[in-house]
Structure 1
Amino acid sequence: MTDLSNPRLPGALPDKRQVAASFSRAAGSYDSVAQLQRDVGNQLLSRLPEDFSPQRWLDLGCGTGYFSRALAQCFPASLGVALDIAEGMLEHARPLGGATHFIAGDAERLPLQDSTCDLIFSSLAVQWCADFASVLSEANRALKPGGIFAFASLCVGTLYELRDSWRQVDGLVHVNRFREFATYQQLSAASGLKVVSLQNAAHVLHYLDVRSLTHELKALGAHNLNPGRPGGLTGRARILGLIEAYEQFRQAQGLPATYQVVYAVLEKPL
């Protein structure tokens, strides 16, 4: 199995410092193009237990704070912490409110005391963490008994149309790598947390053209962050080749971009 924590290996996930810098730069444009992020986060909220009413929650990888504000509305009597590794996102989120505290931190080393949260909510953030076993261990540590870790992430198959189209052009890595769904299953089962639900669902967005898709990925800060990605400007011939290859996927609604989303609700045993 590939060691995703070693950035020198071809299967490595992006370096977290590059992730933080990329999302910090994207803070101002993020919400204007974040329809997928809103749809996925709302779906994750709907998967929380109906009678669940946390007193303290953590929005892990809060980004612009959209779901920190949503959590505050869902649980008005609660106290919330919004945490992100990207300082630029926190600077954007803090004036908009929602959480009681906004702090910079790493999901693999949470700056929280043991057994302090009733809910850890994380939508489309943990796919950037190379050591997901540590994320689960930290969630287990920070949760109170009976607490919930609800996360949405991305797995293999995400943006396969873009990946396959680039492969036809130059064979280089132009699309971010993600874990296998089976890896999420295995690590969650071994985490010490009870798996209440763990599912994989495809979300397909459609675009007028390739440029619209690549512009959105850049505005989100989610463009190619892979180690070993090609450097420098992409030549006109390769861009035309990409456009031609991607056109093979065109549907009546436009060019599809498929996201394979993992939804999980895990509970710390009493």
Structure 2
Amino acid sequence: MSEAILDKRRIADSFGRAAATYDQAAAFQRTVGRNLMHRLPDRFVPADVVDLGCGTGHFTRLLETRYGASVCGLDLAEGMLRYACRQSDHTRWVAADAERLPLRDASQDLIFSSLALQWCSDLQQALHETWRALRPGGYLAFNTLLDASLHELRDAWTTVDGFVHVNRFMTLETLQAHLCQAGFTFWHCEVERHVLCYEQLSDLTRELKAIGAHNVNAGRPGGLTGRSRLRALTEAYEAFRTGQGLPATYDVAQVILRKGPTR
């Protein structure tokens, strides 16, 4: 069994277990998702819409309200889908991998995906799949985290040990290269920087656990983190403290792509 398959199962299980606590801890996720929705064209009225990586269905329901259409929620984590289904019975919920979408060719007008595609092991394949599933004139709107995200936590851990404790995300240059090769006739990418502040490091780590964003990279440590290492981590993170508290930086790429007419 490949490492990629193992990681996908780990990701799905991690987010599935966090379904009941996700919405209470996901204020940042809701902010960047709303910012992505605001970037959609005002006069664009899609009939067939997919929320890819729908999680608990928060944006699935907002998309239904905005467009007056039934939105299909797709997610890798079946635990998230079960939770979403209990919140609304007016939407289709489907377990799906973004790199192998269960969608017919040219069947969708809009694919919306907020903070989900960074968990793909092959972003180019996921972009190819969305292009395939969109009708000519259709849009893909997605956002993803970039490499500077959580750099304070990553840097603090490097003073403690040599393991990989923080998820790695791609650079803006790598993302732009993928966008250029994805086959869309138009794309636009803007980067937002969000700096969240916490009173204690445990507030940040508790939030990451509540949303299911566990470390899934190769090189992660096995077993539990000992008290001595946690004390060392806490001391190292204190070097970043400002008057507002302990910062956690997120760089978010907000991307809109449009599929052109078939030649």
> Is the structural similarity TM-score above 0.5?
yes
Q: Are residue 121 (structure 1) and residue 121 (structure 2) matched?
A: no
Q: How does 1:96-115 map to 2 (within 5 A)?
A: 96-97=87-88, 100-115=91-106
Unmatched runs of 5 consecutive residues or more in structure 2: none
- Counterpart of 1:100, as a letter, is T
Which of residues 26, 34, 39 is equivalent to 1:34? 26
Q: CA deviation at 1:157?
A: 0.6
Tell whether the 8 Å contact from 2:159 to 2:236 is kept in structure 1 after alignment: yes
TM-score with structure 1 setting the length: 0.93
The structure 1 residue matched to 2:182, chosen from 188, 191, 202, is 191
Aligned twin of 1:172: 163
Identity rate of aligned residues, in percent?
52
Deviates more, 1:20-29 or 1:193-202: 193-202
**Aligned mate of 1:49, from 34, 41, 52:** 41
Aligned residues: 260
Gaps of 5+ in 1: 1-5
Does 1:64 find its partner at 2:56? yes
2:125 counterpart residue number? 134
Q: Does 2:245 match 1:254?
A: yes
Of 204, 208, 212, 1:221 maps to 212
Give, in whole Å, the separation in 2 of the partners of 1:149 and 1:170.
40
Distance 1:173 1:260 in 2: 19
Aligned mates of 2:234, 2:89 — CA distance in 1: 42
User: Does the aligned pair in 2 maintain the 1:69–1:98 contact within 8 Å?
Assistant: no
The counterpart of 1:18, out of the listed 10, 26, 46, is 10
Match for 1:234 among 207, 218, 225?
Answer: 225
Alignment check: 8 A CA contact 2:39 2:256 kept: yes
CA displacement at 1:170 relative to structure 2: 1.1
Residue type at the aligned position of 2:167: N
The whole-number CA distance in structure 2 between the counterparts of 1:134 and 1:269 is 19
Shift of 1:180: 1.3
Q: Kindly tell me: are residues 98 and 50 of structure 1, through their superposed partners in 2, closer, same or farther at Cα, counting changes over 3 Å?
A: farther
Q: 1:99 to 1:187 in 2, by over 3 A?
A: farther
SS at match of 2:238: helix
